Amino acid sequence: MEFVDTERGRFAIRREGSGPTALFLHGFPLDATMWLDQITGLEGLGERIAMDLRGNGHSEPTHHDIADIDMHADDVVAVIEALGVLKVDLVGFSMGGYVALSIAQRYPERLRSLALIDSKADADSDAAKINRTNAAVRATLQGREALAQEMIEALLSPSASLLAKARLRTMVEACSFETIVASQAGMAKRPARTKTVAGLDVPFLAVVGEHDGVTPPELSIAMADAAPNGMSVVIPGAGHMTPIEKPRAVNDILRDWLKKVR
């Protein structure tokens, strides 16, 4: 792990390899360690960077009531600028996908390609916003252990390995309560970016688990169909956490994708 100092603060990254850069953005309430299998498994395919978003992992803590998605996007761009990277193959998981879409809309010149894994371009419904508020309250009052158990049950498929469950629990229980609350508020207020997907001028990939109940496969397929140069892949037997549930399948997909778009 190393640190990148920017005008927006200090951010932690995991980096391997050299050459064209693939940048990986994690979901809620996780950190860059969710991408360990991809950082190591995609050896030989250029530089792989996984970043801890603000308030997560070892990056700059958040002091905001709302961890705005556009704020995260600005942080990411500040990091790649500090690293001297001109363009990236951007890979966003779940909340990281929301951040990636903000970058695609507001900093399109930074993208060589865009891949969303178990993510979506739609805004939250009113019911989903209420659920986020309730989840933040439960986590604060009942503790991270309760949140981790909820997420293991909701995000992983019944066949998920013990290692996948352990990695998810470790990340959730390491996240600060302030970040949990602010992140839920930030995701609740994010805008729809379906028009961003429809207007992409870079190759687009949507990957999703067959049993993903958070971002169902039909949403990923519809996103890929809407993109000018899009494709979708459904991973059999996986839930929402495909990068840690089915790392080999995800790596095979990303390996073929990166070879295609470079």
**What pLDDT band is residue 228 in, cutting at 50, 70 and 90?**
very high
Over range 172-187, report the average pLDDT. Answer: 96
Q: In whole numbers, what is the pLDDT of the chain averaged over residues?
A: 96
Residue type, 226: A
List all residues 6 or more positions away from 135 whose beta carbon is below 8 Å from its beta carbon.
Answer: 147, 150, 184
The pLDDT score that the predictor gives to residue 184 is 96
Residue pair 198/226 in contact by the 8 Å Cβ criterion: yes
Between CA 190 and CA 186 the distance in angstroms is 6
Q: Note the pTM of the prediction, 2 decimals.
A: 0.97
| Cis ω for the linkage preceding 29 (within 30 of 0) | yes
- pLDDT tens for 108-163 read 999 999 999 999 999 999 999 999 999 999 999 999 999 999 999 999 998 999 99
> Domains of the chain by range and CATH?
2-261 (3.40.50.1820)
Res. 63: pLDDT tops 90: no
